[in-house]
Structure 1
Amino acid sequence: MRGAVRQVEWVGDDDPERVEAATITLAADRLDALGTSRSTDYVTSWSLETGPDWVTSRLDVAVFGRGFTRRLALARDAHGRWTSEATQEGVGVYHDEELADPGIDARDAADGAFDGALDCDLALCPVTNTMPILRLGANRHEVAETRFVMAWVALPSLAVSRSEQLYSATPYDEEAGHAVVRYSSESRDFTADLTVDPDGIVIDYPQLARRIRTRARP
């Protein structure tokens, strides 16, 4: 995909040892991205593709931890159906807690848990907030509270679950050169005011990550 390229790095707000990095290619109505996340306990690599209107088409994720490896291919087809393929090797325990199986649970798939979901949301990853922000135009305009259904991918398990989220935005601050987007996750009882740049990419995500470096290539 041709488009403007942004290379961005963040450091964890909740965990200063975690470093997130992504190369994002932005076209008029879609994006592709490649990224990594490095912490003291595991390393994650991922690739993301969207179609028109920034709707997720595919997310591939691999997690490499101490004693375990997990992989997930999560896809959304043109009819809005979500499917996953997942593998796991090694121990299924992290910090003395049993990890859920990776992928979409068969019961959730049968119950239509992801009906209406346009986006994936990878845990700890600031990039997956960009799609709903751009779809709403929240990086440029004031936006009333809008509800989305997400296919949320937990780390390090790579289990996929339904997540209902709310986005709204205050007017764009021309002088400061950024917008403030309010994000809420009802399933996790969490709300944060995200500072985003004109491309809809997160600058500061309180309690999660803050940007430390960016580079643009036309």
Structure 2
Amino acid sequence: MTFAPPPETAAWRHVAARTGFEVVFFRPLESGPLEGGHRIEGCTTAVEDLRTWVVDYAIDVDDGWTTRRARITSRSAAGVRHTLLEADGRGDWLIDGAPAPHLGDCLDVDLESSALTNAFPVHRMRLAVGAGSAAPAAFVRAADLAVERLDQHYTRIPDEPDGDARGGPRYDYAAPVFDVSCRLVYDESGLVLDYPGLAVRAA
């Protein structure tokens, strides 16, 4: 599976689980140890369970779309929080400089606040139709930036849209800890178009 280069910017409207909007910008990394990768900077503003919050993020991925660094800031009525995740690309992580063994063998960051981060595993794994794989991730909560291990699984299914005019690559996604099982529709750049119950692409 080969994806087109990411656009300069994309946006999602968050639905059902929360009311909100997410905007993201992509910049190629043209020098340094992550040359060929991307810096992805975004922001989600939302209302969820009558609480308001804002999450800003800057994520660096290498040329294989493996997460190498994520700087995240959360703002809410409780105050401002910051966290820094650093990864060696082989499954070892630091959280604010301290080893995080509970994230062992995770290669992606997954932000609770974001629809964008579901792009990382599909880019990284490049699954053939019919293939599936576990994709454990460093999952960052929106409100307090707690970092947990999230076990999840992606299976690529045939691209035929079955009457869905959006088309594009499709994956069956499961995150058992949240009792989530759904079908994710992506565009040619490997960005989610529709995440049922969470977000739809707006731009």
TM-score (norm 2): 0.82
Looking at structure 1, the residues matched to 131 and 53 of structure 2 have their Cα atoms a distance apart, in angstroms, of 38
Q: 2:174 aligns with which of 163, 181, 184?
A: 184
Looking at structure 1, the residues matched to 190 and 174 of structure 2 have their Cα atoms a distance apart, in angstroms, of 17
**Compared CA separation, residues 4 and 10, structure 1 to 2 (3 A):** closer
Contact 1:24–1:34 (Cα < 8 Å) also in 2: yes
SS of 2:64's equivalent in the other structure is: helix
Residue 68 of structure 1: how far off its partner (Å): 1.1
Per the alignment, residue 58 of structure 2 pairs with 47
Looking at structure 2, the residues matched to 12 and 79 of structure 1 have their Cα atoms a distance apart, in angstroms, of 32
Looking at structure 2, the residues matched to 29 and 179 of structure 1 have their Cα atoms a distance apart, in angstroms, of 23
Contact 1:63–1:71 (Cα < 8 Å) also in 2: yes
Residue 66 of structure 1: how far off its partner (Å): 1.4
Per the alignment, residue 119 of structure 1 pairs with 108
SS of 1:18's equivalent in the other structure is: strand
Per the alignment, residue 131 of structure 2 pairs with 144
**Compared CA separation, residues 63 and 129, structure 1 to 2 (3 A):** same
Residue 176 of structure 1: how far off its partner (Å): 5.0
SS of 1:117's equivalent in the other structure is: coil
Aligned length: 187
SS of 1:71's equivalent in the other structure is: strand
Per the alignment, residue 23 of structure 1 pairs with 25
**Compared CA separation, residues 177 and 80, structure 1 to 2 (3 A):** same
Residue 78 of structure 1: how far off its partner (Å): 5.0
1:46-94: CA deviations, max 9, x gaps?
Answer: 11101132111011111111141111111102553201119xxxxxxxx
**Compared CA separation, residues 25 and 177, structure 1 to 2 (3 A):** farther
How large is the RMSD of aligned CA atoms in angstroms?
Answer: 2.5
SS of 1:132's equivalent in the other structure is: helix
1:114-147: CA deviations, max 9, x gaps?
Answer: 1111111111311111111112325xx4142211
The within-5 A match list for 1:1-218 is 5-15=7-17, 17-25=19-27, 30-40=37-47, 41-78=52-89, 80-85=91-96, 109=100, 112-138=101-127, 141-173=128-160, 176-213=166-203
**Compared CA separation, residues 17 and 136, structure 1 to 2 (3 A):** same
**Compared CA separation, residues 127 and 176, structure 1 to 2 (3 A):** closer
Looking at structure 2, the residues matched to 59 and 154 of structure 1 have their Cα atoms a distance apart, in angstroms, of 13
TM-score (norm 1): 0.77
Contact 1:4–1:26 (Cα < 8 Å) also in 2: no
Looking at structure 2, the residues matched to 170 and 192 of structure 1 have their Cα atoms a distance apart, in angstroms, of 12
Contact 2:18–2:198 (Cα < 8 Å) also in 1: no
SS of 1:134's equivalent in the other structure is: helix
